[in-house]
Amino acid sequence: MENVFNIPQLSGNLRKELLQSAAEQFGTPLYVYDLERIEARFNALKQAFAGRKALVCYALKANSNLSVIKKLASLESGADCVSLGEIKRAVMAGIPKYKIIYSGVGKQDFEIKEAISLGILFINVESKEEMLRVEACARELGISARISIRVNPDIDPQTHPYISTGLKENKFGVSIEEAKGMYLHAHNAEFLEPIGIHFHIGSQLTKLKPIAESAQKIAQLTQSLLALKIDIKFFDIGGGIGITYSDESTISPYDYAQAILAELRGLDVTIVCEPGRFIVGNSGVFLTKVLYQKENQGKRFVIVDGAMNDLIRPSLYAAYHQILALKNMESKGEAEVAGPICESGDYLGKNIVLPHCERGDILAVLSAGAYGFSMASNYNTRPRCAEVVVENGKIRLVRKRESFEDLIALEKEYL
């Protein structure tokens, strides 16, 4: 398929003409997802573990649009969920309950009970206290809860500190020592069934070594648990594989799988992985329209209709997203692409090389399929934008643009 921009972040269906017509048909700001690219990314990862017992559980938090999840369900994906809401989305989109896992540091009783009642694959517990809550909920229900314990291997994942989760100073998981005690407790508990072990050291990982080192530590722990007759069946390696936003090289699914498998020699476990960004990140584009162009004492600003409430990654992490003008590619130098929100931090890109922009021109913000819409808000009473998918060359609406009425629906009766 043609890739007009000839850059790795865009491929498949996301052609310039198609994006332009999506913007014209559905308005801006707008998210566009390429379902065929999502399929290819999912299959690449699944394929890397072929011949092994493995389950890819897509991390819904990256992009939880029901149509995206439905596509992944049709490819036999499982789901990694971090709230009851996400579990409900997964079920609604057709992910079988026995392929759903539930992670997160702050699960509440009502969520735990619902997860146990639904019969999901397992709950990833993150602390001793949480495990005791899971046990209490399971006893109340009279149903044994399948659990896995999230172990914090204390390894530097070499990523942005906000998305680094596997160091001892991070709030996630428990130490190897504590995990041992927890497994012994769970093993002897009437309503707990410890069937898995879990680690996740961070997101947007571009280096394999920290992942392999973590897998090695956790595999050793698994060996010692098996020696105690604690029957660990699932080895959950978390998510985190990075993508190319600019020109960074990333981890190939094959190398990833090989590195994990090398550490698992001799262990008869099902590998579970929880990729989010890897599957959807480069499969999505955020489209926004130029409203104004201005110069402030020598600095060029292109003011667009998309803002930090639509795509917060640049504001929150100073994350870089490549931005391209769809009509005219001739460079006129650098500009800050900024939104209409009343904060200096409201920008989609700084030092972005762009052509001269005219009112109405469409800009494509690349690699926006992960943590884009799923982190959107209504800040400044801005309705969240619409989402469309492209499949078989056709563009289809999968979430309507919110209206002002939607925004005030839960307030107006109190006026």
Binding site residues, ligand LLP, CB under 6 A: 59, 61-62, 80, 103, 163, 200, 203-204, 238-241, 274-278, 313, 317, 370-371
> Least separation, in Å, of the C-beta of 165 and ligand LLP?
6
Q: What minimum distance in Å lies between the beta carbon of 7 and ligand LLP? A: 20
* Sequence-separated (6 or more) residues with CB below 8 Å from residue 208: 251, 255, 256, 259
Which of these, 363, 277, 381, lies nearest to 322 by C-alpha position? 363
Report the greatest alpha carbon distance in the chain: 71
In the three-class reduction of DSSP (H, G, I as helix; E, B as strand; rest coil), residue 403 is classed as: coil
**Residue 78, token pair as written in the block:** 């499982």
Of residues 345 and 360, the one with the C-beta less far from ligand LLP:
345
> Annotated catalytic, 137?
no
Measure CA 21 to chain center. 27
Q: CB-hemisphere CA count at 13 Å for 215? A: 26
Residue 46 or 277: which CB sits closer to ligand LLP? 277
- Check: CB of residue 235 under 8 Å from CB of residue 267: yes
Q: What whole-number distance in Å separates Cα of residue 351 and Cα of residue 337?
A: 8
- Burial environment of residue 317 by CB neighbours within 10 A (0 to 12, 13 to 18, 19 or more): middle
Torsion of CA 116, 122, 126, 130, to 10 degrees: 20
| Amino acid at position 222, single letter | T
Q: Is 343 annotated as a binding residue?
A: yes
**∠ CA(118), CA(120), CA(125), 5° rounding?**
115
Smallest separation, CB 159 to ligand LLP (Å): 9
Whether the Cβ atoms of residue 97 and residue 124 lie closer than 8 Å to each other: no
Q: Annotation-wise, does 277 bind a ligand?
A: yes
Ligand-binding annotation for 15, yes or no, is no
- Nearest approach in angstroms of CB 319 to ligand LLP is 6
Nearest to ligand LLP of 54, 62 (CB atom): 62
Helix (H, G, I), strand (E, B) or coil at 409: coil
Cβ distance to ligand LLP smaller for residue 318 or 409:
318
Using the structure block, give the residue that is written with the tokens 């399948």: 146
306 labeled binding residue: no
Query: Is 371 one of the annotated binding-site residues?
Result: yes
Closest distance of CB 393 from ligand LLP, Å: 28
Cα–Cα distance, 208 to 259 (Å, whole number): 8
CA distances from 290 to 31, 53, 188, 349 (A): 16, 49, 62, 13
Tokens of 221: 């722990």
Kindly state the DSSP code that residue 298 receives in the 8-state scheme. T
Q: Name the minimum Å distance from CB 60 to ligand LLP.
A: 9
Question: Given 273, 342, 357, 385, which residue is catalytic?
Answer: 342
Cβ of residue 242: shortest distance to ligand LLP, in angstroms? 7
Q: Which is nearer to ligand LLP, 225 or 243 (CB)?
A: 243
Smaller CB separation from ligand LLP, 370 or 398: 370
Query: Is residue 347 annotated as involved in ligand binding?
Result: no
Would you say 253 is a known binding-site residue?
Answer: no
183 labelled as ligand-binding? no
Answer yes or no: are the C-beta atoms of 111 and 84 closer than 8 Å: yes
Q: Please enumerate, by residue number, every residue annotated as part of a binding site for pyridoxal 5'-phosphate.
A: 240, 274-277, 371
Residues serving a catalytic function are: 342
Q: Please enumerate, by residue number, every residue annotated as part of a binding site.
A: 240, 274-277, 313, 317, 343, 371
Q: Please enumerate, by residue number, every residue annotated as part of a binding site for substrate.
A: 277, 313, 317, 343, 371
